[in-house]
Chain A
Amino acid sequence: MKLVVQFFSSLRLTVVLLSISLALIFFGTLDQAEYGIWHTQKLYFQSFFVAWAYPAAWPAHEQLHWLRIPMPGGYLLGGLLLVNLVAAHVTRFKLSAGKSGVFLIHFGLILLLVSELLTNLLAVESQMPVDEGSRRNYSESYRENELVFIDRSHTEFDTVHSIPVSYLNPGTTIDVPDTPLSVRTVEFYPNAELGRFPGGESRGMATRGAAVSMGLVVTPKAVTYAEDAINTVTAYIEIIGPDGPLGTWLVSNVLDERFPAQVVESGNRAWEVALRFKRHYYPFEIELIEFSHDRYPGTEIPFNFSSEVIIHHTDSNKTRKALIYMNHPLRYEGLTFYQASFANDDRTSIFQVVRNPGWLLPYVSVLLMGLGMAVQFGIHFIRFLRKRQGTV
């Protein structure tokens, strides 16, 4: 037991773990050219193990395609570093004025590792495009999708039943809550291309809906990791009513509002069915008054993007105006709105909407670390100066 504690609290372990971290970060950066930032982050830093493979784009790939470098992933390394740090503090360190800086740095580091983990687990990012002069009360994920059944029978509001696409496994059937319907997934494509079948008649599996009326065919595609590309998530689903199957529909996030809604009827009730980017609804609407995009004279280099907005809350006390621009986000109701992009000839502003309950933690931790560094190196520096004075 003593040996185990000694091992986990040793400086040698720290040095080894830090060295492996260096390698992990390096290969995790290299592979971003293969998988894009988002996916590499999952592979390397939000995982327990990872193996770097010799990239196909490199010279001599023919000879070296077998080369793999396995290493512990971010969760494992971070966890071990955390254990190492805590163990060292419990067993070896004695708090003293001379070591106060080191304590602060280490405590800040622990907090930072924990806050990264919290962010990974809890933070939700989505985007909200708003046209000038119009309002919006939801934002959309650009990676996650959902299968929705929308009941529009009520005059005041719509009822949305949402199923994450991760539940759409071919062959399995799931019930749609609060409806008499269930869904059997026939085929699921993480990325696909939809086209019209020459001659107009579909050879696909659909028996109802847009695929039949428009003659759509599906060509499966490899998942893309490019930063600016999106995956066209697509599925064939069979919808089953209380009296048996109602037919098979083709649903895809590319079949959005531009196309007529696909409607499922059962008894005297009707639902719109759609596979779409996951939406997050809010108890307020954002109205875009004006979007500005200023460029340096005579160039295409932008020097400012800004959006003037009014937030209309159902609780009118919370209604307010705001200007969202680069480096100046709007923090509102636990959400943060960033000026992310624009479209539509500068008439549409796109906000990045982030909900991150732990957003303050990094600030606290870096404050501690910065303070700790200043204290520690300050002490060293003063000692050094004293020693020099002593020798001169």
Chain B
Amino acid sequence: MKKPTFLFPLAVAILIVVHGLLPQTNDSEFDIKAFSELPVQVGGRINPLDSVARNTLLILSARQRVITPEGKSLSPIEWFMDLTMRPEVADTYRVFKIENPDELGIAGLAQTGQRYYAFNDLVPYLEEITRLFRGIESDSRQRSAYEKQIAELYGGLIRYHRVMRSFHPIGTPERMDRLTDEYENYLALAEPALQALHRRHSGKDYDAALLNRFMAFSDDYSELSRTAYLRVVPPPAPVDPMDDWKNVGLELVDVMQGNELSSYVMDYSRLTTAYRSGDAEAFNATVAEMRERFRADFPGRIGRVQFERAFNGLQPFSLSMQLYVFVFLTVCVGWLRWPKELGRAAFWILAIAFAIHTLGLLARMYIHARPPVTNLYSSAVFVGWGAVLLGVVVEKFHRNGAGAAMASLVGFSTLIVAHHLAMSGDTFEMMRAVLDSNFWLATHVVVITFGYSAVFLAGALGIAFVLLGLFGKRFDKAAAKSIGGMVYGIICFGAFFSLLGTILGGIWADQSWGRFWGWDPKENGALMVVVTAAIYLHARWGGILRERGLMALAIFGNIVTAWAWFGTNLLGIGLHSYGFTDGGFFWLSGFALSQLLFISLALLPWRFWNSPFGREKFGGTRRKPGGVIG
């Protein structure tokens, strides 16, 4: 019985990993993978189209799937292909998520029980939506929940409209079918039209009809240059990565100045023609040609772009999330039966999950060419990673499952947080000038975030202590001592890293603004974490608090750290704005309340503690009336 109990969970974990790593099969004849690796410049960096598709869909729909009216499920890139190349079809897909459609105040829009709407569903109300948007508060930080929803819908429609026009002008299906002809016409017209224009200026006879035809094109293309979202046309080689790419409209307009039309514009029109007519062979040939050209022009870039597409497909963080849940369940079962075998299995699954989490983190660092923490999203990924790292170490020393269970809990929760933070778009956003310092990002930011990891893990172990102490049938004095020691050790780490991180932050601030300390919300938050850890350590060294008090304080550390991490972001946003309407406010206060509940459980008198440890304590206090209750 022993071996299988250890091996069975491990085998399940390996199955989960293998299933997660298997490439997603696609029955399409079009080479979607190659298409999804085509590079475009957006948000100041070169992305594969796959990332653009995912981020756009996340912003509109808050998910990574589109269900067609026929019930077929599309991946983001498949949806993106329809959006840009078969817009008349894409307009029927329900991709606009409206959380509370009834509350928009637009009669007739809401469909019962439906939170997803297609562009065609919204067409009749476009004017109304625009009118409502014009009427709301212009400062986005001061908006009410209702106003936020209007702004989101309006912003989503604009984005949809602009992304759709990324490759070429959008018109009737007939026009879309014949884009290549259109461009050729336009190019053929360009020279005679420019001559006609010249003649007109010098008062000579000119072909007015020809000039008018050409001007109609150029008006249309300059409109396109203002709307097309993606920059798909790289400058001629050799290329500096900081050079501006052009969007397709701008490239077409520049033909008027005698520039040649980039082959990328023609290629995208060929792709569209081929895709619309179902000609997979022509499509694939064009994509292959574009790839080759990009590889030749950007020899150092293609690897990163392809890697990013592969990273998107593998979703290592969602895989580690599944494993973290599994670790937690394994330990929980272990507390009831086979603690030794399941504890060992849990440790190894945790190690596998941690390895995958680490690979994800490293992959992001490679793609971004940055230290691991650059924004709120990556801090969430890193906090979880740090907590699991500490959890693995602690579990290796103590081997009682508590470290593994709580580390996996923190790892899972922070990845959930990261998942929700990713809804706002590209998680590889560029760093503003003052933050653009790999040295400080690698030192201050990483160290302080690791401090958060430690405090969260200590807080989670505090919760485990309380719950096991109140209800655990096997939770004895030795186990209590072991968890108590873990919490202490981890808070020592937390204190060290938070203080070091805060200090490094002070030095950075002195280097950038001339003040070591400025009492700004983020700095104060970090200081509060340090002070909380200091209170814990002094209270423990002075014997001022005992088990229950110390655990309550460790759990309180969760609230302080959450405040330092997120609360200050809600606040740091201008006068008289407390961020009440921010979605984060709801979750943050919910989290704080839940922690307060655990703290009150921790403070329950010993007679409510049903574990062997609690009963012994209760006996102890009864024998020694007047003794310190700790």
Q: Footprint of B on A, CB under 8 Å?
A: 10-12, 14-15, 18-19, 21-22, 25-26, 28-30, 32-34, 36-37, 40-41, 44-45, 55-59, 115-116, 119, 123, 125, 225-227, 294-299, 301-305, 326-329, 336, 338, 340, 352, 354, 356, 359, 362-363, 366, 369-370, 373-374, 377, 380-381, 384, 388
Of the residues A116, A326, A356, contact of B514 by C-beta under 8 Å: A356
* Given known A296-B45, A301-B430, contact A11–B531 (CB-CB < 8 A): no
- Do residues A29 and B506 form an inter-chain contact, with CB atoms below 8 A? no
Of the residues A304, A338, A363, contact of B433 by C-beta under 8 Å: A304
Query: From residue 527 to 543 of chain B, which have CB atoms closer than 8 A to chain A?
Result: 527-528, 531-532, 534-535, 538-539, 541-542
* Given known A25-B524, A373-B495, A388-B397, contact A366–B507 (CB-CB < 8 A): yes
Query: From residue 388 to 431 of chain B, which have CB atoms closer than 8 A to chain A?
Result: 397, 429-431
Which of A29, A45, A359, A373 has the most chain B CB atoms closer than 10 A to its own CB? A29
Chain B 29-48, CB-CB to A under 8 Å as 1, else 0, gives 00000000000011111000
- Do residues B531 and A18 form an inter-chain contact, with CB atoms below 8 A? yes
List, in ascending order, chain B residues with CB within 8 A of A22's CB. 528, 531-532, 535, 560
Query: From residue 472 to 491 of chain B, which have CB atoms closer than 8 A to chain A?
Result: 489
Complex Cα gap A22–B167 (Å): 55
List, in ascending order, chain A residues with CB within 8 A of B231's CB. 297-298
Complex Cα gap A359–B41 (Å): 43
- Do residues A18 and B514 form an inter-chain contact, with CB atoms below 8 A? no
Chain B 513-554, CB-CB to A under 8 Å as 1, else 0, gives 111111111001101100110110011011010000000000
- Do residues A21 and B531 form an inter-chain contact, with CB atoms below 8 A? yes
Chain B 271-306, CB-CB to A under 8 Å as 1, else 0, gives 000000000000000000000000000000000000
Sample of 11 A–B contacts (CB below 8 Å)? A22-B535, A32-B571, A37-B519, A44-B519, A227-B574, A298-B44, A301-B43, A326-B436, A326-B512, A352-B513, A369-B499
Residue B22 at the A interface, CB < 8 A?
Answer: no
- Do residues B538 and A18 form an inter-chain contact, with CB atoms below 8 A? yes
Q: Footprint of A on B, CB under 8 Å?
A: 41-45, 231, 242-245, 397, 429-434, 436-437, 440, 489, 492-493, 495-496, 499-500, 503, 506-508, 510-521, 524-525, 527-528, 531-532, 534-535, 538-539, 541-542, 544, 560, 563, 568, 571-578, 580
- Do residues A34 and B575 form an inter-chain contact, with CB atoms below 8 A? yes
* Given known A32-B571, A296-B45, A338-B514, contact A15–B544 (CB-CB < 8 A): yes
* Given known A22-B531, A296-B430, contact A15–B539 (CB-CB < 8 A): yes
Of the residues B495, B520, B578, contact of A37 by C-beta under 8 Å: B520
Given contacts A15-B542, A41-B518, could you give 18 more A-B pairs where the C-beta distance is less than 8 Å? A10-B542, A11-B542, A15-B539, A28-B524, A33-B578, A36-B575, A45-B519, A125-B514, A125-B515, A295-B44, A297-B231, A297-B242, A298-B244, A326-B433, A363-B510, A370-B500, A373-B496, A381-B492
Complex Cα gap A310–B519 (Å): 33
- Do residues A377 and B575 form an inter-chain contact, with CB atoms below 8 A? no
Chain B residue at minimal CB-CB distance from A22: B531
- Do residues B521 and A299 form an inter-chain contact, with CB atoms below 8 A? no
- Do residues A303 and B571 form an inter-chain contact, with CB atoms below 8 A? no
- Do residues A57 and B514 form an inter-chain contact, with CB atoms below 8 A? no
Chain B residue at minimal CB-CB distance from A299: B44
List, in ascending order, chain B residues with CB within 8 A of A26's CB. 524, 528, 563
- Do residues B244 and A116 form an inter-chain contact, with CB atoms below 8 A? no
- Do residues A327 and B508 form an inter-chain contact, with CB atoms below 8 A? yes
Complex Cα gap A295–B436 (Å): 12
Of the residues B242, B573, B575, contact of A226 by C-beta under 8 Å: B575
* Given known A14-B538, A18-B531, A22-B532, contact A303–B41 (CB-CB < 8 A): no
Complex Cα gap A340–B503 (Å): 22
Of the residues B433, B519, B541, contact of A28 by C-beta under 8 Å: B519
Complex Cα gap A326–B512 (Å): 6
* Given known A26-B528, A302-B432, contact A338–B541 (CB-CB < 8 A): no
Of the residues B431, B516, B517, B538, contact of A11 by C-beta under 8 Å: B538
List, in ascending order, chain A residues with CB within 8 A of B521's CB. 29, 32
- Do residues A297 and B514 form an inter-chain contact, with CB atoms below 8 A? no
- Do residues B514 and A352 form an inter-chain contact, with CB atoms below 8 A? yes
The 3 closest A-B pairs by CB, nearest first: A296-B44, A11-B542, A354-B514
- Do residues B571 and A33 form an inter-chain contact, with CB atoms below 8 A? yes
- Do residues B520 and A359 form an inter-chain contact, with CB atoms below 8 A? no
Shortest beta-carbon distance, B88 to chain A, in Å?
29
* Given known A298-B44, A377-B492, contact A327–B434 (CB-CB < 8 A): yes
Shortest beta-carbon distance, B507 to chain A, in Å?
7
List, in ascending order, chain B residues with CB within 8 A of A294's CB. 242
- Do residues B525 and A297 form an inter-chain contact, with CB atoms below 8 A? no
- Do residues A11 and B514 form an inter-chain contact, with CB atoms below 8 A? no
List, in ascending order, chain B residues with CB within 8 A of A362's CB. 506-507, 510, 516-517
